[in-house]
Amino acid sequence: MQFETVIGLEVHAQLLTKTKIFCSCSTEFGAPPNTHTCPVCLGMPGVLPVLNRTVVEYAMKMALATHCRILPRCRFARKNYFYPDLPKGYQISQYELPLGVDGWLEIETEEGTRRIGITRIHMEEDAGKLVHDETQPVSYVDFNRTGVPLIEIVSEPDMRSPEEAAAYLRTLRDILRYLEICDGNMEEGSFRCDANISLRPVGSSEFGTKTELKNMNSFRNVQRALEFEVRRQRALLEKGQAIVQETRLWDAGRGVTVSMRGKEEAHDYRYFPDPDLVPVEIDEAWVEQVRSSLPELPDAKRERFVRQYDLPAYDARVLTASKDLADYFEAAVAAFPQPKTVSNWIMSELMRELKRDEREIEDCPVPPAHLAELLQLMDRNVISGKIAKSVFKEMYETGASAKAIVEAKGLEQVTDEGAIEAVVREVLAENPKEVESFRQGKEKLLGFFVGQVMKKTRGKANPKLVNEMLLKALKG
C-alpha cells in the first residue's frame, strides 16, 4: 500500500520586545538566573498582569504578513498544567478567540510553489527553564524566561513531505526577521517548532493517527526527525500495527524519535478565560495603522529584484533570504550599478567566507562600499579578476579597502602593450616545441601560453591583451 505523509507545524516565535508580556521585567537573553523576575511573572498572590501593547502590535504584523484575518475581539485564557518551570500552575495563552485566523503563505519547492494554510496566530507567555545538573540528581529552575512574549503560529496539515516542512519553516522565519519582531534563532530557542505527522493511504481523505515531535533545534533536525518518523510509521502500518497518538522526542545523536508521553488534548488543559485580563478589542483604524508600518516582505522584494535589477529568480531568492543580505546587495549596487556582477560576487566569494566563519552578513568585515570599490577596480582593468579574488580575501581578513591593498602591494594590472609583448616573445622563445604544436593545430595550447605569461607577470598582465598578442604572434 502507498501512503501519503500529512504534516502540520506549531511554531513558537519569541518577540523582540524590551519587556515581558504582562510585566516590566527585561527580556534580555543570557542574564544570570532569576535576575529578570518580579512578583507578576513569578505568580505571587495578589498581583495583576498588564498587557504589553507592543506584543499585540507585533502579533498583528505577523498576522497581516501571513494574510490572516484579525479578529475584532480576542481573549486570553488560562492553560492549566503543572511543571516546575511554570510558577503560576497555568500559562496565559489564547484559546477560542485568537488574534488572527485563516491565513496562508507560499513556499518554493522543487515541484514548484505551494500554498500552506495558517489556522491561527495567538499570543502567549513563555515558561521558565529547567537546568539539569549532570553530576547529581538535581535540577535548577531559571525563571528569567517566564513571561517572555511569544506568538504561536499553527499551520493547517497541508505539508506532504519533510522537505516542504523545512521550506515552510524557512519562509516563516524569513518573514519574522523581515518584520524585525523575532531573531529566528532556533539554537537559542527563540524560534521553536513542534511537528504533528501522520500517514494515510494515498487517495484517502481521512487523517491517520498523528504523533507530535519535539526537541528539534535546527531546520536540518526538523527534516531529519520527520524523515525518521515517516519511516517508523510506514513500517508499523505495513505490519498491520496501530500508530499510538503520543509526543515523541527527537534524539539527534542517535537519529531516532523516542516516546515521551501520551499526547494531550485541549480538554486536558482545562482552558478558561483569564479573569485578570479584559478582552482585547482591535478596530480597523488600529489594523490599518499597523498595516501601514509593514516593510517590504520577502516575496515582494524577490519580485522587485527580478524586475528592477534583471536578476535570475535563483539570485533573487538567495539575496532576499534575509533582509540584511538584501540591504547589503542594494547598497553595493548603488555604488557599482552592475547588479549581476555584484550578485555573483556576493553569492560566491562573500557567502563562501561567511559560511566558513559561521558569520551572518551583519557581521561581515567587508562593507558594501568596499566590495563596490573592488569591482570598480576590476571593471576599469586596474586589476584582473584573479587578483581581485586574492584582494577580496585580504579585505575580508583585514577589513582594509581594495584600493589600499592594491596600492600597498603594487597589484595594478600591466596594460603596457610593449611590456606585455616582450614577455610574450620571451615565453614563445622558451617553448619552441609547443609553438610548433600550436601551429600544427593544437590550439588548446593557447591556455598554456597564457598561463606562462601570467606567471612571469605575477598575474598582473591584462588577460585580454595577453590573448590578443599571443594569437597575433602565434599566427603571424
Predicted pLDDT at 263: 63
Q: Which three cell numbers stand for residue 212?
A: 507530535
3-state secondary structure string across 2-39: CEEEEEEEEEEEECCCCECCCCCCECCCCCCCCCCCCC
Task: Compute the distance between CA of residue 423 and CA of residue 290 in angstroms, rounded to an integer.
Answer: 67
- Going by the DSSP 8-state scheme, the letter that residue 263 receives in this structure is P
Place of cell 496539515: 157
Task: Compute the distance between CA of residue 438 and CA of residue 450 in angstroms, rounded to an integer.
Answer: 13
Predicted pLDDT at 420: 80
Task: Compute the distance between CA of residue 325 and CA of residue 318 in angstroms, rounded to an integer.
Answer: 9
**Domain 417-475, what fold?**
Arc Repressor Mutant, subunit A (1.10.10)
Q: How many helices (H) and strands (E) does the chain have?
A: 16, 16
Predicted pLDDT at 416: 66
CB 152 within 8 A of CB 128: no
The residue ranges of DSSP E strands in 280-393, in sequence order, are 280-281
The angle at the Cα of 57, spanning 55 to 61, to the nearest 5 degrees, equals 115
Three-state DSSP at 164 gives helix
Predicted pLDDT at 411: 78
Domain with CATH 1.10.10.410 in the chain: 417-475
238-to-6, 132, 207, 259, 308 alpha-carbon distances in Å: 17, 40, 17, 20, 53
> Which is nearest to 316 in space by CA: 278, 288, 343, 355?
343
Q: What is the mean pLDDT of each run of 10 residues along the chain (476 residues)?
A: 94 97 95 96 95 98 98 97 93 97 92 93 96 90 96 97 94 94 90 95 92 91 95 95 93 92 74 96 97 94 96 94 93 97 96 90 94 94 87 94 90 73 85 83 84 81 80 79
CB 187 within 8 A of CB 218: yes
